[in-house]
Structure 1
Amino acid sequence: MNVKHSPQNTERWDDWGWGGPKNINKEGMFYERLDGSRNGTLALAKSFFFPTEDLWFGGVAVERLNRRSLQYRVVSRLVQVCVFRWAGRACSRASSRWCRYNWEYATVSVAPGEAMILVLLVVYLCCPSVMLVAVPVVGDFLLVAARGLLLIVVFVVVVEVVLLSDVSQDAGVSLNQVTCLGISTQRSTFTTWHKDTGKTFHNFITWKDIRADGLVRYWNNSYKMMVTMRLVWALQHVESLKEAASQGHAMFGTVDTWLLYRLTAGRLHVTDVSNASATGMYDPFTMDWGSWALQLFNIPGDMLPKVCDTAANFGVVDPRILGTALAIRCSMADQAASLFGLCCFQEGDVKVTMGTGTFINLNTGKTPHASVAGLYPLVGWRYKDEIVYVAEGASNDTGSLVKWAQQVGFVNTPAESAEQALSVKDSDGVFFVPAFNGLQAPINDYQAAAGFIGLKPTTSKHHMVRAILESLAFRVVQLYDTLQQEAGCDCSLIRVDGGVSHNDFVCQLLADLIEIKVERPTSTEMSVLGVGFLAGLYSGLNYIFI
């Protein structure tokens, strides 16, 4: 595989940089062959399937809606999928309370009253002035009531509108010209569903869910972030899941498994090694589900997905979703994908992702790393006969701290934090403990609490902001020192990505503290690039231009 770099597009510290991808963005990436043909791979960002308030409504004035905006296209598709199709079925089944829109693998139901709410929502978004004059109170009601309804159809809408329209338009191609699809997802977040109906037993239980804390303390604190104990909690507390599991009718899956199940019309119940190894139930030393874990925690083995290579034949997207049977050739956990996207292919390569949390990953080659300080061994990827292992350390609070600083009024926007930190020469002796969710490796104190230390009359808001940002870099240094002590890591550079890596102050401070080069690509969405690389490799695209 020949990868072309573009050094002129690199932002750098210590007068050295890595030529990162110049066109990658959170909507996806199209990779052209060097011979000029238009076939390529399409990388699917995890954000597609988890719309947030900011994505759909936050900061967007409804009155300024236009025909090319994301909101307009989402609303248009909602009209087609949810109103016309469901209303037609409702008319044909006037005696039935429910109106159904069926696929082979899923049934989405909506009551006529809910359909009316959706109609009103569409009118409100497209013609706000008419709606607000006619029914002054409807606007606020709809924005609250419709969110739940939107989640019912967001899978269809986002795939068809965002993926089909945005990515293909940005690339200047149609989906018929796309070779394959790659998926990058959040790890350690899971759901369960009924094998026969596809109906979920509960919402996603995320990697930060703390309802299983009692079980974690009872068994082993090292399982804090793993799926295992939260799945045990769900099996004990969700009655419908407990009953289905006892009858062999329950299916378990992390985000990637659920997406593949839905995208392939229920034909696949699989995961890849990078996602499986982050559950705590997969043994990276034997490369199989750990029978010891399943027996110890009484987890039915038949509910677990089949584990596949990271780049493999994951079937095709059901043509009713995108209008074409698009091949899926890669599924990968976000941290492993960003490691690959940052070209950390050699043993000893290190990358740091600073997003909601901080994750430092060391490529340990063919040998999994056994830690006693809070690091944990994971499988980075398995491609054909090659297995690459990763040693990882985490700090749960990074981007969440910057967001908190904004919420309490320290900064107006996250981008201002670097300016405020640089406006003072130091933190005036103030330190911040970044422990909203405890302190992970190497301290491993899950009861630690956040707080400022050293406040005095001369302390200003800018000093406090600087202390917060400094704490983020200090935690990375702690994790890096642990890698050095445990794994003998002695690299000459660190590659960084993630939203917080946009902060120049944090990156420069990190380079100063560890006294090695810190590289940041122009775009920081490296997990998307990673799955694009692997999907393209598996599909025979030997030349990828970035």
Structure 2
Amino acid sequence: MITNDGPVLAIDQGTSGTKALVVCPERGVIGSGAADVRPRYLPGGLVEVDPAALLSSVVDAGRQALAAAGEAVAAVGLANQGETVLAWDPATGRPLTDAIVWQDRRAEPLCTELAAYDEELRELTGLPLDPYFAAPKMAWIRRFLTQEGTVTTSDVWLIHQLTGAYVTDASTAGRTQLLDLDRVSWSERALDLFGLGAELLPRIVDAAGPVGTTTAFGPEIPLTGLLVDQQAALLAQNVTAPSTAKCTYGTGAFLLAQTGNRPRRSTNGLVGCVAWRLAGETSYCLDGQVYTVASAVRWLADLGVISGARDIDPVGSAVPDSGGVTFVPALAGLAAPWWRGDLRGSVTGLGLDTTPGHLVRALCEGIAAQVAEVAAAAAGDLGAPLSVLRVDGGLTRSALLMQTQADLLQLPVEVAELPDATALGVAAVTRLGLNPGLSLREVVAPGKPSAVYEPQISADQAAERLGVFRAEVAALLARTPTAP
């Protein structure tokens, strides 16, 4: 018989795959599973995925984790991509469109049309007007694809497929640009601006609590935990002090800093959003994004420069530096703090002596430089420098990237003991949903970092490298003026 203290199944449905963990409160992770997802990267900045592939990856990864654990679980929790959207029939659950992935840029013209309302939307929702967020893509679907059914973020569809419920959690709702950040409820004004006033919107629920039950993984179990991916990682990393932040290195990189029970509107190009809502109480955070990280590594692999992420360290370590090569990996545009999704990436300083190692090192520096710029923006908004960066995600396995990050930040970089922080975060709220009497401290294991990287170059050297990167970004901005 399963009790409220039993293991839970935590599922992280991400851009390029789904990871599932069976987490026991006493023994930690006792089973895991994974299933790949392959989005289609199309000309013109389009990124799509078959919704059925998302659902099958959730079911497959979850069943793998349960088989590996060999034990029943008390509940399941789900983390999601945040800004990926689709239209679907709420009566049958049938998708009416492909899922448009958060990286997709097709709604750029619609954002240009609404440019006069950018400041109003920032103040209302905490988010800048950009196709990255859900509402522009939702509006694009309504304008160009279909008026039928409902249009929502992908989590709503997945939850409906699993349980029949029609809900989203407050943190995911905060990624739509349709949420009133102060009231944590749908904004009629934002809905009207995007032409979505007639939409049937999901009910906004807390991160922890019963949503419904599912038999997708075997015997019937309750779904009791929901969070958007980056906020789940923020919780798992136990980032509560204003001088600390976490960064997840996945398809993109996402740096978040907790700001407490009051929302902040960034003055430095970041996003103010909901961290989570628990027992009706909302916590907020600042968020900065780098669009292409693991996706940039995959791009190098597709070109044949390396065979995959496992080559970053051996190939990059074959040379002492980038050999004068500078890589701005804006392969899907630049996000925070620039918000120029129209930009293209650049690689400069190439010569006949340039090797794959130089390109790998230049990519690591380009990723780390963008994260450093986001960290500086967060420090500006918080009014104090960061003291440490806690990191998670698959690419934290690269010692070269993590050392480069510490060097350019001039801060210690603490690598999470387990790279799957998102799944661990959703496991925590799933346990809370089962047993509301527990505290956050009781469900979030503090853990010790698996590695700590200290800066190995001087502050002057770091400033020089960041200066070169900023000059290349400035050149890109000068060549691609903002559309009128």
TM normalised by structure 2 equals 0.77
Contact 1:348 1:363 in 2 (8 A): no
- Percent of aligned pairs sharing the same letter: 28
Which runs of structure 2 are paired with 1:287-366 in the superposition (5 Å)? 287-317=184-214, 319=215, 321-366=216-261
Which runs of structure 2 are paired with 1:102-121 in the superposition (5 Å)? none
Q: 1:375 to 1:424 in 2, by over 3 A?
A: same
For residue 535 of structure 1, report the CA deviation from its aligned partner: 1.0
Q: Partners in 1 of 2:371 and 2:51 — Cα distance?
A: 36
Alignment partner, residue 263 of structure 1 = 162
SS in 1 for 2:213: coil
SS in 2 for 1:441: coil
Deviations 1:444-488 (A, max 9, x none): 332322121122343323212211111111111111111112222
For residue 422 of structure 1, report the CA deviation from its aligned partner: 2.0
- Greater RCO (CA < 8 Å, at least 6 residues apart): 1
Contact 2:323 2:358 in 1 (8 A): yes
Instruction: Let me know the Cα RMSD of the aligned residues.
Output: 2.8
**Which blocks of at least 5 consecutive residues in structure 1 are unaligned?**
1-24, 35-39, 54-147, 245-249
Alignment partner, residue 26 of structure 1 = 19
Contact 2:21 2:29 in 1 (8 A): no
For residue 306 of structure 1, report the CA deviation from its aligned partner: 0.6
Deviations 1:11-31 (A, max 9, x none): xxxxxxxxxxxxxx9331221
Alignment partner, residue 67 of structure 2 = 169
SS in 2 for 1:214: helix
Which runs of structure 2 are paired with 1:32-181 in the superposition (5 Å)? 32-33=25-26, 51-52=37-38, 155=55, 159=59, 162-164=61-63, 166-173=64-71, 175=72, 178-181=73-76
For residue 411 of structure 1, report the CA deviation from its aligned partner: 1.5
For residue 270 of structure 1, report the CA deviation from its aligned partner: 0.5
Task: Please point out which of 279, 285, 288 is paired with 1:390.
Answer: 285
Q: Partners in 2 of 1:153 and 1:227 — Cα distance?
A: 20
Deviations 1:478-537 (A, max 9, x none): 111111122224332111111222111111111122222211123211110001111112
Q: Partners in 2 of 1:425 and 1:152 — Cα distance?
A: 45
Q: 1:537 to 1:158 in 2, by over 3 A?
A: closer
* Structure (1 or 2) with the larger CA radius of gyration: 1
Which runs of structure 2 are paired with 1:507-522 in the superposition (5 Å)? 507-522=402-417
Q: Partners in 1 of 2:196 and 2:271 — Cα distance?
A: 22
1:444 is aligned to 2:342: no
Contact 1:41 1:179 in 2 (8 A): no
Q: Partners in 2 of 1:259 and 1:226 — Cα distance?
A: 19
Contact 1:43 1:528 in 2 (8 A): no
For these two proteins, the number of residue pairs brought into alignment is: 404
Alignment partner, residue 226 of structure 1 = 133
Alignment partner, residue 466 of structure 1 = 361
SS in 2 for 1:519: strand
Task: Please point out which of 259, 263, 275 is paired with 1:368.
Answer: 263
SS in 2 for 1:524: coil
For residue 42 of structure 1, report the CA deviation from its aligned partner: 9.7
For residue 183 of structure 1, report the CA deviation from its aligned partner: 0.6
Q: Flag the structure with higher helix content.
A: 1
For residue 51 of structure 1, report the CA deviation from its aligned partner: 3.9
Contact 1:252 1:305 in 2 (8 A): no
For residue 373 of structure 1, report the CA deviation from its aligned partner: 3.3
Alignment partner, residue 99 of structure 1 = none
1:426 is aligned to 2:321: yes
TM normalised by structure 1 equals 0.69
Q: Partners in 2 of 1:167 and 1:429 — Cα distance?
A: 45
1:472 maps to amino acid: I
Contact 1:44 1:183 in 2 (8 A): no
**Which blocks of at least 5 consecutive residues in structure 2 are unaligned?**
1-17, 40-48, 116-127, 448-484
1:454 is aligned to 2:314: no
Q: 1:441 to 1:329 in 2, by over 3 A?
A: same
Contact 1:359 1:394 in 2 (8 A): yes
For residue 157 of structure 1, report the CA deviation from its aligned partner: 8.7
2:195 maps to amino acid: N
Q: Partners in 2 of 1:225 and 1:151 — Cα distance?
A: 18
Q: Partners in 1 of 2:232 and 2:83 — Cα distance?
A: 15
Contact 1:43 1:182 in 2 (8 A): no
